[in-house]
Amino acid sequence: MMEKYILSLDQGTSSSRAIVFDAAGKVCSVAQHEFPQIFPRSGWVEHDPHHIWSSQASVIAEAISEININGKNIAAIGITNQRETTIVWDAETGEPVYNAIVWQDRRTSELCDRLRGDGLEDWIRQKTGLIVDAYFSATKIKWILDNVQGARKKAEDGKLRFGTVDSWLVWKLTRGEVHVTDVTNASRTMLFNIHTMQWDEELLGLFGIPVSMMPEVKSSSEIYGYTTTTIFAHRVPIAGIAGDQQAALFGQMCVEPGAVKNTYGTGCFLLMNTGDRPIFSSNRLLTTVAWQLDGKVSYALEGSIFVAGSVVQWLRDGLKCISSSADVEELASSVPDTGGVYFVPALTGLGAPYWNQYARGVISGISRGTTAAHIARAALEGVAFQVYDIVKAMERDSQLPITELKVDGGASANNLLMQFQSDILRTKVLRPCVTETTALGAAYLAGLAVGFWENVPQIRSQWAVEREFLPELSGGYVPGLISGWHDAVARVLREYDEIP
Ligand SMILES: Nc1ncnc2c1ncn2[C@@H]1O[C@H](COP(=O)(O)OP(=O)(O)O)[C@@H](O)[C@H]1O
Ligand SMILES: O=P(O)(O)OC[C@H](O)CO
């Protein structure tokens, strides 16, 4: 067979990646480019949609040339992406009318306060499974229509298109032929009804968003279209799309209800497969679509943490105490503990289960003896403590103890972080051989659509563990650590009590 590979595009918040997988699910080549983050004001985060596309296009070219293959050798393309990030472009010229407003951006927090003040929170939650928060796309689209000159009129005339990053990439790959998204990305917009699996007209009306802007919603595994970009001499089918966290859930083969994974990327996202019914959380977790495959919808419970690996980027770029993200482990390991320092890394607000849009980071317990190493260690511990809070919330919601955690994402390479995670959770932390599970999940979804893989049981056997972390710290220390963390969070919540 000529078509020996699946090409997966993983457009993350920090970087664009292209990964070529073979039928054994083995990584054959990887190319990755970090691209610029734009911070126009405190709490605002943007990307240039052209950078998103150009970085993605160049890594595609690199990944396929590295192993000397071309479009003919690729059975299908799978796309996975940072979710919620909002791009609006002109249907005719394809030119974005504004920068991409990134999921971390807090500019619409006050609008969300007003929606809650109007008593709409439960109504929105029932339809979408989401907490009203600036995180999701709906208020970001409204902001663009309200603030970019001429945008609303053009939208009403049917001349603008909205997309999350998956839609933008498909549009670019097909040179404007195809405007689609999949159910997982749609479920993060706060405009999608997760019961009817359609755009919700009442929500579109509430935010003043014309339906003509919206992409057609498809399943996570089917042929959406064929590439026309000059990167490939042949038209390659685009056959899988899923938001990165759902793709990671699939890539980790968490296909049975109760299975859980946690991805440590820019943010940190813990998802539990809940099978064919949406479970509504009593602990402020999100209900979301896991995927739609072979006509069947699966749902998930999700705990979203806004800042994880990005606090390491801040240590690197803001504080300049490390020169690469990977260096944080050596720096943090140079001290035995944080010396009493706690770091609540709420640099762009606090997500689940606190949902405070105005929170900002706090470092507490600094003394004359505190060094950059203590702060680096406290930053990593702050990531693990946030995950601890979500695990406990999820256990309460699902009434199931979480006895093992499958991990992935860039920061899961950090052994100190993984060990501390196991120490405070008192559970097994399992890191798979392929930590590119996000890309792998999208590859699986694409491959299943074109018959590259036959079915889920066939690919399930490919999952293998690389390293298992078991609790090493004596359990007696844990309650003190956790209560210190909760004191630090309480300080943040007191300081930033939802009033900007
Ligand atoms: N060894 C490491 N320790 C801690 N954080 C790391 C390490 N390597 C990468 N990171 C962090 O992981 C993030 C990148 O992970 P990735 O999964 O590629 O994220 P995304 O998909 O959000 O772009 C960055 O924020 C980076 O700072
Ligand atoms: O870019 P990541 O991997 O941090 O993921 C971002 C999430 O999709 C945001 O919801």
Ligand 1 centroid to 34 CA: how many Å? 11
The residue type at 440: L
Cα angle at 124 between 119 and 129, to 5 degrees? 135
Q: Is 13 in the pocket of ligand 2 (CB under 6 A)?
A: yes
User: What is the per-residue pLDDT for 459?
Assistant: 93
What are the average pLDDT values for consecutive 10-residue runs of the chain, which has 500 residues? 85 95 94 93 93 96 91 93 97 96 94 93 96 95 97 96 98 95 98 97 97 98 92 90 97 92 93 92 93 95 93 95 95 96 92 86 94 97 96 89 92 97 96 92 97 93 93 90 95 75
Strand 46-47 with 15-21, pairing: unpaired
> What CA–CA distance (Å, rounded) separates 343 from 363?
4
- Nearest ligand to residue 310 Cα: 1
Report which DSSP code applies to 281: P
pLDDT digits (tens, 9 = 90+) for 170-194: 999 999 999 999 999 999 999 999 9
CA dihedral (92, 95, 97, 101) in degrees, to 10, reads 130
427 lines ligand 2 (CB under 6 A): no
Question: Which two tokens mark 215?
Answer: 């992409």
Q: What is the DSSP letter of 211?
A: G
Going from the Cα of 252 to the center of ligand 2, the distance in angstroms, rounded, reads 16
Q: How far is the CA of 302 from the centre of ligand 2 (A)?
A: 12
Sign of the alpha-carbon dihedral angle for 241, 243, 244, 246: negative
d(CA 392, CA 430): 18
Beta strands 221-226; 216-218: pairing state: unpaired
pTM, whole model, 2 decimals? Answer: 0.92
Nearest to 500 by CA among 114, 38, 37: 114
ipTM above 0.90, yes or no: yes
Peptide bond into 353 cis (omega under 30): yes
Number of the ligand 2 atom closest to the C-alpha atom of 438: 3
DSSP structure string for 46-58: EE-HHHHHHHHHH
What is the 347 CA–ligand 1 centroid distance (Å)?
16
Q: Are 323 and 316 in contact (CB under 8 A)?
A: yes
**CA-closest residue to ligand 2 atom 4:** 266
Residue 482: in which H helix or E strand, if any? helix 478-495
Contact 103 CB / ligand 2 (< 6 Å)? yes
Q: What are phi and psi of 51, to 5 degrees?
A: -65, -40
Beta strands in 82-168 (DSSP E): 87-90, 100-101, 160-163
245 C-beta closer than 6 A to ligand 2: yes
Residue 243 beta carbon below 6 angstroms from any ligand 2 atom: yes
Q: Which ligand is nearest to the CA of 411?
A: 1
**Residue 335 vs residues 78, 252, 370, 378, 394: alpha-carbon distances, Å:** 42, 33, 10, 11, 32
281 CA → ligand 1 middle, Å? 28
C-alpha–C-alpha distance, residues 394 and 363, integer Å: 27
**Amino acid in position 319:** L
Closest-CA residue, ligand 1 atom 26, reads: 309
Report the atom number in ligand 2 closest to the C-alpha of 82.
8
Dihedral (C-alpha) 117, 120, 124, 130: value to the nearest 10 degrees? 20
Nearest-atom number in ligand 1 for the CA of 264 is 17
* 157 CA from centroid of ligand 1 (Å): 41
Nearest-5° Cα angle at 250, 245 to 256: 115
Q: To test ligand 1's pocket by mutation, which of 312, 313, 327 has the most ligand atoms within 8 angstroms of CB? A: 312
Give yes or no for residue 310 CB within 6 A of ligand 2.
Answer: no
**Ligand 2 atom closest to Cα of 103?**
9
SS3 301: strand
Report pLDDT digits (tens) over 237-284.
Answer: 999 999 999 999 999 999 998 899 999 998 999 999 999 989 999 888
The radius of gyration computed from the CA coordinates of the chain, to the nearest angstrom, equals: 21
Task: Answer yes or no: is the C-beta of 462 below 6 A from any ligand 2 atom.
Answer: no
Distance of alpha carbon 228 from alpha carbon 209, whole angstroms = 30
Determine the Cα–Cα distance for residues 228 and 233; give it in Å rounded to an integer. Answer: 8
Q: Hey, which residues does 255 pair with through a beta bridge?
A: none
